[in-house]
Amino acid sequence: MTTPFSPYQPLADALLAHLPDDGDGAHDLAHLVRVWRNVQRIAAEEGGDRELLLAATLLHDGVHVAKNDPRRDRASWLAAEQARNILDTLGWAASHIDAVAHAIESHSFSANITPQTLEARVLQDADRLDALGALGVARCFYTAGTMGSALYDVTDPQAHARALDDQRFTLDHFETKLLTLSEGFQTATGRQLAAQRHARLLAFREALLEEIGEPPVE
């Protein structure tokens, strides 16, 4: 029977056993399955060691830090350190542990670390794809709901006369982050997939603005 991580399901089972379920619906098992699917699509064209990629995929969000937590820019470092410990207990070679840890640490938008290996570039692209398109919209509003953010500023939805504040207004997050993501993809395959999903973000924003009586973005 085909499983989400076939043909590496035994490795997946060993790694997932170390990860707690913290109830974060934006970084849950479904997210890991989607990122792995993106990894496979990109790696089919770009290459990369699949076992290293699977380990990095499954462990990249191993330490959850909320978006509004002051430690947010250290989340990927914390996950990388946790991954080192997990892989060491499984008897992985030091060089492979280092490769996985680097991919995890550099995947994060907040960390702002340039990926230095093919596997790190593939993981970063695969993870960022899940922040774009219809899934990006869904995850954005899910996370905003957990933070108690409003959908938008009713007096100035497009922030014409105020500073953007995506901690308070979910729509602002499109400008502060989501609509910038497609510019930084590392692989040709990732850039192609990102362009498609970026267009879906733009279409959603245009529809939302129309429905709340706002003029389109110029």
Please tell me the CATH code under which domain 1-115 is placed: 1.10.3210.50
The Cα 174–Cα 167 span in angstroms is 12
Q: Tell me the pLDDT tens digit for each residue of 166-214.
A: 999 999 999 999 999 999 899 999 999 999 999 999 999 999 999 999 9
The Cα 5–Cα 13 span in angstroms is 9
The Cα 40–Cα 47 span in angstroms is 9
Residue 178 backbone phi and psi in degrees, to 5: -55, -45
The Cα 64–Cα 207 span in angstroms is 32
pLDDT band at 61 (very low <50, low <70, confident <90, very high): confident
Do 1-115 and 131-218 agree at the fold level? yes
Q: Tell me the pLDDT tens digit for each residue of 102-134.
A: 999 999 877 788 999 999 999 999 999 999 999
The model carries a pTM of: 0.91
Cβ burial of 9 (10 Å; 0-12, 13-18, 19+) is middle
Fold classified for 131-218: Hypothetical protein af1432 (1.10.3210)
Q: Tell me the pLDDT tens digit for each residue of 43-53.
A: 999 999 999 99
List the chain domain ranges.
1-115, 131-218
Closest to 127 in 3D by CA, of 87, 50, 186, 214: 186
